[in-house]
């Protein structure tokens, strides 16, 4: 079974275009280093009844929305290998200047997940 890194983060609505451009560049790096899939999705429907919407999980401000993202790997070991290469890649270091991020890194949630069902 594959392995997934999942991310949920608040992004200012005014910075979605900048975030998209950063994500496009990052996706190329992850894929080049072996990630199977790289997906970034911006919130569209938070009016879900009887469950907790992501907007409450990350406590968005009125001018923010939520990005939900995941990167898929062959296994946890493969994830560790890919991420080691990605973090050493100068393109990622160039994108991650704390002065120029389109979101607050301290408010991003991420974790690794073992898949239990794949269809």
- Residue 36's pLDDT is what? 98
Extended beta strands in 1-119, E state:
3-12, 37-42, 64-73, 109-114
Summarised one tens digit per residue, pLDDT across range 72-98 is: 999 999 999 999 999 999 999 888 877
Sign of CA dihedral 51, 57, 60, 65: negative
Domain ranges within the chain, ordered by starting residue = 3-114
Check residue 39 and give its pLDDT.
98
pTM reported for the whole predicted model:
0.92
Walk across the sheet containing 37-42 and list its strands. 37-42, 64-73, 3-12, 109-114
Q: In the chain, which stretches have pLDDT less than 70? A: none
- 3-114 under CATH 3.30.70.100, yes or no: yes
Distances (CA, A) of 13 to 19, 43, 95: 10, 10, 19
């Amino acid at each position: 079974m594959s392995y997934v890194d999942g991310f949920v983060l608040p992004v200012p609505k005014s910075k979605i275009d900048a975030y998209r451009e950063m994500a496009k560049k990052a996706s190329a790096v992850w894929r080049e280093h072996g990630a199977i899939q790289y997906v970034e999705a911006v919130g569209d429907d938070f009016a879900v009844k009887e469950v907790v919407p992501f907007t409450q999980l990350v406590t968005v401000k009125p001018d923010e929305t939520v990005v939900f993202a995941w990167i898929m790997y062959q296994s946890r070991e493969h994830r560790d290998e890919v991420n080691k290469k990605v973090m050493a890649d100068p393109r990622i270091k160039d994108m991650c200047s704390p002065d120029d991020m389109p979101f607050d890194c301290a408010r991003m949630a991420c974790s690794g997940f073992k898949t239990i069902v794949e269809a």
